């Protein structure tokens, strides 16, 4: 078992005096070191930029740390664009990779000068109708269909995914866009999710680079960037070996030198849009055991539930759990660790072997930095938790307060009932 929390029981007991559980806590040091490693791994590519996928974690304090490390923002909705813009992320440092995009979102993206990444052929016309003259720089999302395989098997099923242009549409689309005055082109593809292998990006890169060479030949367009998007995974399981971003960077470089450089396209910039890899391991959901239940199974009831972390409930995803202060004890008790929603899928762990848990124990649920808080919702009228930042100097900063009933009821403020609610 190799998963060690970045906080100790002593630290958490101190923190809960000010901020009660549940909360997500993030590790600034880990975020920075990883972001620097990403930058180094791709430093061989002159225009390289990581556009952090804001949907993975939309906390401005965390996005700001990544910005300081040179990252831009990858947005997929109006509010994500608004946030990035309000944070002062400028123009082409914002990538807008959306799908089924409403007109007002295109309008806004265009207004703030974000790079628009079109998800579909029909959106060429839709975008033109919406904003008038097309921007000078545009990107298209590619979906070659079929299955995405690496040497050890099928990784994902792009043929079933709703995203992107087909190969034919991509060639046709680039021709049309060129005629309509677009000068700088980008190609984007996201073909597999949470890939825990160093081979994903290099294999994806080869596909995209080969298409880029063909596109340039057949349509004469000027391809200025290729966006490898997200999909680089993290080891959620304790016995899984994680990705090595340096090996990944070198793998992509090899393909770049093999395919693009001989075609005279060695000045293409590479972009990534990682979310999970940038933030996932650097977040913990900290929760307190508040009940134990002995029926047909042994249950531990926590003060967190699926609204704080949805992945186990919707994907059956594994998230490792550490009982703080009992790191060295044997895992000789089998538990379902559950939240309080009226949904039987609200289980952080099923049949998990853990040390004996007592009421009041603090549990760390690992790898909640990406697609954790941001996937939150309010089912059962449950409120979203606070988010805390463990800074490099060891101090703790509140970077989002917990929701209150007042927040929850705010959208009813146009009704009389709002006045009658006890909101103080």
Judged by beta carbon, residue 232 or residue 365, the one nearer ligand PLP is 232
Tell me: does residue 62 bind ligand PLP (CB under 6 A). Answer: no
Judged by beta carbon, residue 71 or residue 324, the one nearer ligand PLP is 71
Judged by beta carbon, residue 188 or residue 384, the one nearer ligand PLP is 188
Name the minimum Å distance from CB 21 to ligand PLP: 26
Tell me: does residue 249 bind ligand PLP (CB under 6 A). Answer: no
Tell me: does residue 53 bind ligand PLP (CB under 6 A). Answer: yes
Interface segment toward ligand PLP; rule CB under 6 A; list 168-176, 205-213, 267-275, 302-310: 267-275
Name the minimum Å distance from CB 323 to ligand PLP: 28
Rounded Cα gap, residues 160 and 164, in angstroms: 11
Rounded Cα gap, residues 57 and 314, in angstroms: 18
Q: Which of 71, 63, 106 is nearest to 271 (CA)?
A: 71
Q: Which of 5, 164, 231, 355 binds ligand PLP (CB under 6 A)?
A: 231
Q: DSSP character for 13? A: H
Rounded Cα gap, residues 124 and 122, in angstroms: 5
Listing DSSP states for 326-395 in one string gives -TTS---EEEEEE-SSSSTT-EEEEEEEESPP-TT-EEEEP--TTTTGGG---GGGPPP-EEEEE-TTS-
Number of helical (H) and strand (E) elements in the chain, helices listed first: 13, 19
Name the minimum Å distance from CB 245 to ligand PLP: 12
Interface segment toward ligand PLP; rule CB under 6 A; list 21-29, 52-60, 64-72, 333-341: 52-60
The encoded tokens of residue 206 equal: 């080869």
Tell me: does residue 318 bind ligand PLP (CB under 6 A). Answer: no
User: Which residue reads 């996928």 in tokens?
Assistant: 53
Rounded Cα gap, residues 382 and 341, in angstroms: 8
Judged by beta carbon, residue 27 or residue 367, the one nearer ligand PLP is 367
Interface segment toward ligand PLP; rule CB under 6 A; list 64-72, 154-162, 227-235, 355-363: 227-235
Rounded Cα gap, residues 354 and 3, in angstroms: 13
Please give the residues from 139 up to 168 whose contact with ligand PLP meets the rule CB under 6 A: none
Angle between helix axes 167-179 and 122-131 (nearest 10 degrees) is: 30
Interface segment toward ligand PLP; rule CB under 6 A; list 142-150, 275-283, 403-411, 416-424: 275-283
Interface segment toward ligand PLP; rule CB under 6 A; list 11-19, 144-152, 223-231, 330-338: 223-231
Name the minimum Å distance from CB 29 to ligand PLP: 21
Q: Which of 6, 106, 174, 190 binds ligand PLP (CB under 6 A)?
A: 190
Calculate the CA 85 to chain-centre distance. Answer: 19
Rounded Cα gap, residues 299 and 327, in angstroms: 20
Judged by beta carbon, residue 199 or residue 403, the one nearer ligand PLP is 199
Residue 32: cis peptide before it, omega within 30 degrees of 0? no
Interface segment toward ligand PLP; rule CB under 6 A; list 51-59, 206-214, 215-223, 347-355: 51-59
Q: Which of 329, 331, 314, 417 is nearest to 372 (CA)?
A: 314
Tell me: does residue 189 bind ligand PLP (CB under 6 A). Answer: no
Tell me: does residue 370 bind ligand PLP (CB under 6 A). Answer: yes
Q: Which residues of the shown chain bind ligand PLP in the complex (CB under 6 A)?
A: 53, 55-56, 74, 76, 97, 190, 193, 229-232, 273-277, 370
């Amino acid at each position: 078992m190799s998963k060690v929390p970045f906080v100790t029981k002593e630290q958490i007991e101190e923190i809960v005096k000010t901020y009660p559980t549940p909360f997500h806590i993030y590790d600034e040091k880990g975020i920075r070191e990883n972001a620097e490693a990403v930058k180094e791994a791709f430093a061989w590519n002159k225009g390289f930029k990581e556009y952090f996928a804001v949907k993975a974690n939309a906390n401005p304090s965390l996005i700001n740390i990544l910005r300081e490390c040179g990252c831009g923002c990858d947005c997929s909705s109006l509010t994500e664009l608004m946030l990035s813009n309000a944070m002062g992320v400028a123009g082409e440092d914002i990538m807008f990779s959306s799908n089924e995009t409403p007109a007002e979102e295109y309008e806004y993206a265009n207004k703030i000068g974000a790079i628009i990444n079109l998800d579909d052929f029909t959106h060429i016309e839709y975008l033109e109708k919406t904003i008038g003259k097309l921007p000078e720089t545009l990107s298209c999302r590619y979906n070659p269909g079929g299955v995405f395989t690496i040497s050890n098997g099928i990784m994902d099923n792009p043929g079933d995914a709703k995203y992107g242009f087909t190969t034919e549409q991509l060639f046709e689309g680039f021709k049309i866009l060129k005629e309509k005055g677009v000068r700088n082109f980008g190609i984007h593809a996201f073909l597999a999710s949470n890939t825990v292998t160093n081979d994903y990006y290099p294999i994806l890169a080869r596909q995209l680079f080969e298409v880029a060479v063909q596109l340039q030949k057949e349509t004469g367009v000027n391809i200025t960037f290729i966006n490898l998007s997200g999909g680089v995974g993290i080891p959620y399981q304790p016995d899984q070996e994680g990705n090595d971003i340096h090996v990944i960077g070198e793998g992509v470089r090899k393909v770049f030198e093999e395919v693009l450089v001989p075609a005279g396209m060695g000045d293409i910039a590479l972009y990534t849009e990682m979310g999970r890899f940038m933030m996932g391991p650097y977040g913990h959901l900290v929760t307190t055991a508040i009940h134990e239940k002995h029926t047909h199974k042994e249950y531990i009831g926590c003060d967190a539930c699926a609204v704080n972390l949805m992945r186990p409930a919707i994907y059956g995803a594994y998230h490792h759990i550490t009982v703080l202060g009992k790191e060295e004890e044997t895992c000789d008790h089998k538990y379902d660790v559950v939240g309080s929603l009226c949904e039987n899928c609200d289980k952080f762990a099923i049949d998990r072997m853990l040390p004996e848990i007592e009421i009041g124990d603090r549990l760390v649920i690992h790898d909640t930095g990406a697609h954790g808080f941001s996937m939150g919702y309010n089912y059962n009228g449950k409120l979203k938790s606070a988010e805390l930042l463990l800074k490099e100097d060891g101090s703790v900063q509140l970077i989002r307060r917990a929701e209150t009933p007042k927040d929850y009821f705010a959208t009813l403020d146009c009704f009389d009932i709002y006045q009658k609610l006890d909101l103080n």
